[in-house]
C-alpha cells in the first residue's frame, strides 16, 4: 500500500513539474486541438483500406472509383494539414503560456511557425515540399512550433526591427505589421539557411530525411540476438510515440532491413516443407505489440470505457474505438494525451514488452506456431492473429493478451483520473479564492487576467456547465427556509447548486461568473426561475399556498429585452401568482444598474412581482431606492449579522437604524446568516422580524424542503 502511494506521489510530482514547462503545455494543447483533423484522416484511411474483399472490388469498379478518389482527396488533404496545424498550434499555445495577454503575438507567431514548418520539411534537392507530411513529420512541427516563437519573442523584446513599443501608431494593425514583418522575414531566412547548410553538410534532402536516417541507424546491434534487437526496437518505437512522434514510421527501415528477411525465411521454409525457426520477425512483433496502434491502444480504449469517470475521456475513447480496431491510435494518443504523460508512460512502455515476452515463451515451448504469413497492418488484430497463428489459436491468444493488457491499464486509467481531479480541484479552489477576494474588495473579477492554467480550468467549467444545462443534469435548486418572529415559515430563498463531475459542488457566485462570460447566463436564469416556479406550484397543490420563493438576479439580466416576458411565461406555465415569486437584487447591482434596468424593475413591480434588495448596508444611493418605494423587502448585509454578538461592535446600532427605516417605509427586513439563538434574540430586539440561516435550516433540496415544511407545521 505504501509503495502504491509512493508511486502515485512520484508520478503526480513529475507530472506537475512537466506541466510547469511552457513547451510541454503547448505541445499537449496543440495535440488535443488537432484531434478533429486526426479524426478525418483516420476515418478516411479506414474507408479506403477496409479489408473486405467485396468492398475493395467495389472501390476499384466503375462506380466506386470516383468514391475512392473522393476519399483519397479527403485523406491526403487532412494528412497534409496535420503537420501545419500542429506547428501553428504549438507556437500559439507557447506564446499564450509565456505572454498570456499578447494575443496578437500568438497569432503572428502561429503564421511564422507554419511558414518555417514548410522550410524545415522542404526537399532541398528538388526544391519542393516532401511527400511525407502529416503525422510522420509531427516532430518537425514541434521544432518549428517552439523555435519560431522563441526567436520571435526574443527579437520582439529587444526591439531589433520596426518602431519601438512606445511609438505605436494610431492603427494597431499597421503597427503589428511593421513591428513583426521584418522579424518574421529574418527568422525565416535564418532557419532556411540553417536547414540548407545542414542538408548540404550531411548529404540529406530534408530535415525529415535526416531524422529518419538517424533513427534507423540506431538499430540493429549486430552483436546482439534477434530477441534483444526486437526488445530494443519496441522500446525505441514506444519512446518516440511518448514524444508525440510516429515511432512505427520513423523506424520502419529497421523492420524492413532486419526483421522482414526473418519473416521471408519462415515463408520460404514453410513453402519447402521445412520447419520455420524465426520466432522473432517483423509481423510477429507487430501482431503482439500494436493491436489498436502504439502501446496496444485498443486495450487502453477498453480500460477507459470500463473504469474512467471522466466523460471527456470516455467520449474520446468511443471515437477512438473504431480507428483502434484498425490499429490507428493517434486520436487516443494525442487526445488523452499519452505523449509527455509520466502516468501512462509505465504501461505504454511495459505492455508491448510483456506481450512480446509472453508470445516468445509460448512459441518457444511449442504452444504457439511460428508466424509464417504477412498481413496488412490495418487488419483488425483478431483477423491478423487468425491468419498468422491459426483460426482458433490466434484469436484466443490475442483475446487473452487484451484481457491482460486491459487489467494492466486499469489502475493507470484510475490514477490518471485521480490526477486530473487533483489538478482541477486545485485550480477551481484557486479560482474560487480569487473570486471571493474580488467580492471582499468589491471589485469586478477579471477572468482575462487569470494565469493560463486557471484559464483552462475556467474554460472547462464553462463547457461543462453549458453541457449540463442543455441536458438538465447535475444542476438543481436548493431552498433555505425563512421564518418570521413567531417561527412560522414564510418561504425560502432559491439557491443554485451545480455539481461538477470532478470538483463536486461549485461555489455559486463562480457558477454565475462563468455563465455570464460563457454567454449562457440567460439560459441558466431561465432554468432557475422555472425550477423555483415549479416548486411553488407543487407547494400550492400541497396546501402551502401562502409561501413565497425569492430568486437572485444580476444587473446584467435586467438588461434582457425578454426578461419580463420570460417571467410572465414562467408564472403562467406553473400556475402561480406573481406575488409568490420574489426577485432579489444585490445592493451593489442596484446601485450600478443603468436607467433601463431600473425601469424594468419598475415594470416588474407594477406586474405584482415582489422586489428584494440583498446585502443591504447604509449607502446613500441605496437609501433613495427605499424612498422611491422600489423594493418591498431588504436583506441585511451578512457582515452586519455575523458579528452582531461581539462586544463593542457598531453593527447593532446600524441594524437598529435600518429596522427603523424599514418600518417607516413599510418594508420587510430579513436577516441572513443567523446561526445561533443568541444572535436571533439580539436581532429580534433590534426590530428584525424575518430570519434565515443555519439556526433555522441549512439549504435543502426540494424533497427535504417539503419535509421541513410538514414537520415545522406539526410542531406549530
Residue 229 has pLDDT above 70, yes or no: yes
pLDDT averaged over the chain? Answer: 85
Are residues 525 and 558 in contact, defined by beta-carbon separation less than 8 angstroms?
Answer: no
Residue 262 has pLDDT above 90, yes or no: yes
Residue 620 has pLDDT above 50, yes or no: no
pTM as predicted: 0.79
Are residues 458 and 518 in contact, defined by beta-carbon separation less than 8 angstroms?
Answer: no
Of the listed ranges 229-233, 323-327, 595-599, 656-660, the least confidently predicted one is 595-599
Name the residue with cell 476499384. 60
Residue 202 has pLDDT above 90, yes or no: no
Q: Provide the 3-class DSSP secondary structure of residue 494.
A: strand
Q: What is the pLDDT of residues 15-31, one digit of tens each?
A: 888 888 899 889 888 88
The residue with greater pLDDT, 563 or 176, is: 563
623 exposure class (CB count in 10 Å sphere: 0-12, 13-18, 19+): middle
What is the pLDDT confidence band of residue 648, given thresholds at 50, 70 and 90?
very low
Name the residue with cell 534532402. 205
Distance (Å, rounded) from C-alpha 353 to C-alpha 212?
24
In b/e form, how buried is each residue of 234-246, taking b as 16+ CB within 10 angstroms?
bebbbebbbebbb
Of the listed ranges 140-154, 282-296, 328-342, 662-676, the least confidently predicted one is 328-342
The predicted structure's pLDDT at residue 278: 93
Distance (Å, rounded) from C-alpha 148 to C-alpha 115?
10
Instruction: Kindly list the structural domains of the chain, giving each domain's residue range(s) and its CATH number in brackets, ordered by start.
Output: 18-214 (no CATH), 221-420 (no CATH), 453-715 (3.20.20.450)
Q: What is the pLDDT of residues 484-509, one digit of tens each?
A: 988 888 999 999 999 998 889 999 99
Q: What is the pLDDT of residues 126-163, one digit of tens each?
A: 666 655 566 778 888 898 999 999 988 888 887 665 55
- Could you give the C-alpha distances from 281 to 253, 256, 258, 391, in angstroms and in order? 14, 10, 8, 20
The predicted structure's pLDDT at residue 415: 93
Tell me whether the omega of the peptide bond preceding residue 524 falls within 30 degrees of 0, making it cis: no
Residue 715 has pLDDT above 60, yes or no: no
7 exposure class (CB count in 10 Å sphere: 0-12, 13-18, 19+): middle
Residue 232 has pLDDT above 90, yes or no: yes
Query: How many Cα atoms within 13 Å fall on the side-chain side of residue 698?
Result: 2
Residue 174 has pLDDT above 70, yes or no: no
- DSSP secondary structure string, 416-479? HHHHHHHHHHHHHHHHHHHHHHHHHHT----GGGS-HHHHHHHHHHHHHHHHHHHHT-SEEEEE
Distance (Å, rounded) from C-alpha 211 to C-alpha 27?
19
The predicted structure's pLDDT at residue 556: 80
The predicted structure's pLDDT at residue 625: 62
Amino acid at each position: 500500500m505504501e509503495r502504491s502511494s509512493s508511486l502515485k506521489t512520484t508520478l503526480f510530482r513529475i507530472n506537475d513539474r512537466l506541466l510547469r514547462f511552457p513547451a510541454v503545455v503547448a505541445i499537449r494543447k496543440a495535440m488535443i486541438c488537432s484531434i478533429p483533423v486526426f479524426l478525418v484522416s483516420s476515418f478516411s484511411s479506414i474507408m479506403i483500406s477496409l479489408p473486405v474483399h467485396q468492398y475493395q472490388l467495389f472501390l476499384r469498379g466503375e462506380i466506386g472509383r470516383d468514391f475512392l478518389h473522393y476519399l483519397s482527396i479527403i485523406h491526403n488533404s487532412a494528412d497534409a494539414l496535420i503537420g501545419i496545424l500542429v506547428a501553428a498550434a504549438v507556437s500559439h499555445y507557447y506564446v499564450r503560456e509565456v505572454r498570456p495577454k499578447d494575443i496578437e503575438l500568438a497569432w503572428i507567431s502561429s503564421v511564422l511557425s507554419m511558414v518555417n514548418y514548410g522550410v524545415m520539411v522542404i526537399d532541398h534537392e528538388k526544391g519542393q515540399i516532401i511527400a511525407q507530411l502529416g503525422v510522420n513529420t509531427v516532430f518537425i512541427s514541434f521544432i518549428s512550433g517552439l523555435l519560431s516563437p522563441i526567436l520571435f519573442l526574443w527579437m520582439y523584446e529587444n526591439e531589433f526591427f520596426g518602431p519601438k513599443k512606445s511609438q505605436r501608431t494610431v492603427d494597431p494593425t499597421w503597427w503589428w505589421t511593421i513591428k513583426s514583418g521584418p522579424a518574421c522575414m529574418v527568422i525565416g531566412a535564418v532557419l532556411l539557411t540553417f536547414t540548407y547548410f545542414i542538408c548540404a553538410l550531411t548529404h540529406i534532402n530534408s530535415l525529415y530525411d535526416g531524422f529518419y536516417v538517424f533513427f534507423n541507424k540506431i538499430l540493429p546491434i549486430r552483436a546482439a540476438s534477434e530477441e534483444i534487437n526486437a526488445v530494443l526496437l519496441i522500446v525505441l518505437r514506444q519512446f518516440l510515440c511518448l514524444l508525440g512522434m510516429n515511432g512505427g514510421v520513423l523506424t520502419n527501415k529497421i523492420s524492413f532491413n532486419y526483421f522482414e528477411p526473418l519473416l521471408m525465411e519462415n515463408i520460404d521454409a514453410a513453402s519447402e516443407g521445412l520447419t520455420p525457426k524465426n520466432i522473432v520477425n517483423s509481423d510477429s512483433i507487430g501482431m503482439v505489440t500494436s493491436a489498436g496502434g502504439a502501446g496496444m491502444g485498443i486495450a487502453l480504449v477498453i480500460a477507459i470505457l470500463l473504469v474512467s469517470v471522466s466523460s471527456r475521456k470516455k467520449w474520446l475513447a468511443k471515437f477512438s474505438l473504431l480507428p483502434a480496431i484498425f490499429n490507428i491510435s493517434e486520436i487516443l494518443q494525442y487526445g488523452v494525451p499519452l505523449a509527455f504523460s509520466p502516468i501512462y508512460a509505465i504501461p505504454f512502455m511495459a505492455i508491448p514488452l510483456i506481450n512480446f515476452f509472453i508470445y516468445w515463451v509460448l512459441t518457444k515451448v511449442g504452444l504457439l506456431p511460428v508466424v509464417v504469413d504477412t498481413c496488412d497492418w490495418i487488419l483488425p488484430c483478431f483477423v491478423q492473429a487468425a491468419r498468422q497463428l491459426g483460426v482458433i489459436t490466434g484469436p484466443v491468444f490475442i483475446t487473452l493478451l487484451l484481457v491482460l493488457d486491459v487489467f494492466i491499464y486499469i489502475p493507470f486509467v484510475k490514477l490518471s483520473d485521480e490526477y486530473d481531479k487533483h489538478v482541477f480541484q486545485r485550480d477551481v479552489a484557486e479560482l474560487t479564492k480569487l473570486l471571493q477576494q474580488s467580492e471582499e474588495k468589491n471589485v469586478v473579477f477579471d477572468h482575462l487576467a487569470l494565469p493560463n492554467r486557471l484559464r483552462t480550468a475556467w474554460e472547462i467549467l464553462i463547457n461543462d456547465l453549458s453541457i449540463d444545462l442543455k441536458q438538465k443534469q447535475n444542476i438543481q435548486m436548493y431552498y433555505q427556509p425563512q421564518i418570521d418572529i413567531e417561527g412560522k415559515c414564510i418561504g425560502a430563498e432559491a439557491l443554485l447548486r451545480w455539481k461538477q463531475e470532478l470538483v463536486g459542488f461549485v461555489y455559486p457566485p463562480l457558477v454565475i461568473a462563468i455563465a455570464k462570460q460563457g454567454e449562457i447566463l440567460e439560459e441558466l436564469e431561465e432554468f432557475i426561475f422555472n425550477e423555483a416556479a415549479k416548486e411553488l406550484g407543487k407547494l400550492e397543490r400541497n396546501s402551502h399556498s401562502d409561501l413565497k420563493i425569492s430568486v437572485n438576479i444580476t444587473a446584467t439580466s435586467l438588461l434582457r429585452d425578454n426578461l419580463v416576458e420570460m417571467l410572465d411565461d414562467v408564472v403562467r406555465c406553473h400556475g402561480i401568482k406573481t406575488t409568490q415569486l420574489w426577485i432579489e437584487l444585490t445592493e451593489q447591482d442596484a446601485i450600478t444598474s443603468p436607467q433601463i434596468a431600473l425601469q424594468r424593475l419598475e415594470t416588474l413591480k407594477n406586474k405584482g412581482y415582489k422586489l428584494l434588495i440583498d446585502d443591504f448596508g447604509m449607502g446613500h444611493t441605496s437609501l433613495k431606492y427605499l424612498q422611491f418605494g422600489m423594493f418591498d423587502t431588504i436583506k441585511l448585509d451578512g457582515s452586519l449579522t455575523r458579528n452582531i454578538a461581539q462586544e463593542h461592535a457598531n453593527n447593532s446600532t446600524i441594524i437598529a437604524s435600518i429596522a427603523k427605516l424599514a418600518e417607516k417605509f413599510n418594508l420587510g427586513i430579513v436577516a441572513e446568516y443567523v446561526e445561533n439563538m443568541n444572535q436571533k434574540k439580539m436581532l429580534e430586539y433590534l426590530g428584525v422580524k424575518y430570519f434565515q440561516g443555519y439556526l433555522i435550516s441549512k439549504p435543502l433540496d426540494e424533497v427535504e424542503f417539503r419535509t421541513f415544511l410538514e414537520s415545522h407545521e406539526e410542531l406549530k
